[in-house]
Amino acid sequence: MRLFRQLVPHLFTLANLFSGFHAIVVIAQGHFMEGFAFIVLASLFDMLDGILSRAVGVASEFGVELDSLSDVVSFGVAPAYLAYAVHFHQFGGIGMVVSAVPALAGAVRLARFNVQLTTLADKPEFVGLPIPAAALTLSAYLVFFHPRSLPAPWDTAALVGLVLGLAALMVSRMRFLNIPRYTRRYIRQHPVETVVFTLGVLVVVGTKGYALFPLLLLYILGSIVRDSVRRWRQRHAEEWDAESFPGEVK
């Protein structure tokens, strides 16, 4: 029974990896929407493996490393290849380099996360944009909004800006909220976040994925504003302390 409990979360992690691999295969065959669907499926497996491992008390460093390796494929390589196949392939080597940027930034972000990990407990915030959020944002834009949203060459400029912006946020020191956990304790302590996230999921399902990109963009912009306000308050609080107690500041 204990072996089964330890194995189940890892199976979900491997399902995440397989979904990412399958996404790459179908994208190479020109089935972009199907590839996007498997990236979304990978994100669901990624969420479930973490929830299960903590629920049954088998979270481990091995699980963290396996999860990161899977995420590099599903949320780094797969969406990067989708960007290349949908648009950047027409620019040759330069297009390949630009397409690879999210995968490279995602790998750096995951490596930093692993070496700075001090506890296996769930965290309310992440330093840097989580790689699944970046992958879903880029993939949803590619399949639902590109190139219909803007005429050439603005479609290329917008996509380059999105790719570089997401990559920069992944390796940044900005803080982003974790997704809600549907436990009685979490819902009691964070009712607003739980309701907002639930409504967002329902809207995405109701629009068959079309609302995913704008909602994720709202999450990213809201997190940037929230973290900027937090930094501003912290800086002004330190300045106030320095003015109030000048003799104690070294």
For residue 55, the SS3 value is: helix
- C-alpha 60/C-alpha 105 separation (Å) is 25
**What per-residue string of b and e applies to 52-61 under the rule 16 or more CB within 10 Å gives b?**
bbbeeebbee
Q: Say which residues have a Cβ less than 8 Å from residue 240's Cβ, sequence separation at least 6.
A: none
pLDDT range class, residue 3, cuts 50, 70, 90: low
The structural domains of the chain, ordered by start, are 2-179 (1.20.120.1760)
Whether the predicted pLDDT of 244 surpasses 70:
no
- C-alpha 169/C-alpha 123 separation (Å) is 18
Between the CA atoms of 222, 135, 206 and 14, what dihedral angle is there, to the nearest 10 degrees? -130
pLDDT score for 250 = 44
Peptide bond into 153 cis (omega under 30): yes
Instruction: Specify the pTM.
Output: 0.89
